[in-house]
Amino acid sequence: MSRCRVAISCSLLCMKISLFILLVFVGAVCRAQEFQSWNEVDLTASWKKMDFLMPAVVRADPSLPNPQFVATGLVAFVPLSTHLKLVGGYLFADLPQRSQVAHVPVLAVEVAVHKEHLTLMDQNRFEKLFDYGSEPVRYRNLLLLDRPFGRNVQWHSFVDDEIFFDLSAVNFNQNRFQAGAGVHLHPRFLLDLYYLQKNPGSGTPTYAFGTILTVNLTRHILSAVPTRNP
């Protein structure tokens, strides 16, 4: 039994070291290829039947002055049924290099379907960007596929695509494709690594590598599927 515990501990240590090396490698690739770096720390908690998320987001570009984008806020998830959730909250975004900010109230409906080890989630989100440009109203549709795997489903992989529409101007705004994987470093810590490509309505695409560290402040979290933020 003791040997088994030692083996498991060594395996976990090796995985953590591998993830650290991968993070260093991702950073080096971002600098070499001038990929952007999108990093996020999410604090999550639950109270009664609701989940809460407080993101802290920083985005950087190795070829430009930084940070390019900083955001935080508070989002609540309210289950309406087994597969349906109501999402609402407020986000604050700062673009220091442009001297612009945005106050963003958010309202969304989220549908998740679970089939064996797969979860398919569709989120329809509305938001208004106060104090930003012409203060547009945006509609965002996110389609996400998530699959856990490994011993005690410690790992998971995901792929998603999100389309943005500017309802104020009635036109396509951007599309974001994202794919990645993550591992539970601890029962309350989840680390995700991902690749992202953002295609704007006009202009050149943006390529990024990113990290999301999720910290569960309470023992039980109802939301098992990651939700994209700013």
For 90-114, what is each residue's pLDDT tens digit? 999 999 999 999 999 999 999 999 8
Q: What are phi and psi of 55, to 5 degrees?
A: -85, 150
Structure pTM?
A: 0.82
Measured between alpha carbons, how far is 230 from 69 in angstroms, rounded to an integer?
10
Per-residue pLDDT for 192 more than 60?
A: yes
Helices (H), 34-142: none
- Rounded CA gap, 114 and 65, in Å? 43
- In CATH terms, 36-216 corresponds, of 3.10.310.30, 2.40.160.40, 1.10.3110.10, 3.30.70.140, to 2.40.160.40
Domain ranges of the chain: 36-216
What is the SS3 assignment for 83?
coil
Q: Is-contact 103 79, C-beta < 8 A?
A: no
Token pair belonging to 139: 């509609």
Phi, then psi, of 94 in degrees rounded to 5: -130, 130
User: Count of alpha carbons within 13 Å of 208, Cβ hemisphere only?
Assistant: 23
Q: How confident is the model over 3-45, as pLDDT tens digits? A: 555 444 544 444 555 455 455 555 545 454 579 999 999 999 9
Alpha helices in the chain (DSSP H): 2-33
Instruction: Please give the Cα distance from 173 to 122 (Å, whole number).
Output: 19
SS3 12: helix
- Listed in sequence order, the residues at least 6 apart from 152 whose beta carbon sits closer than 8 Å to its beta carbon are none
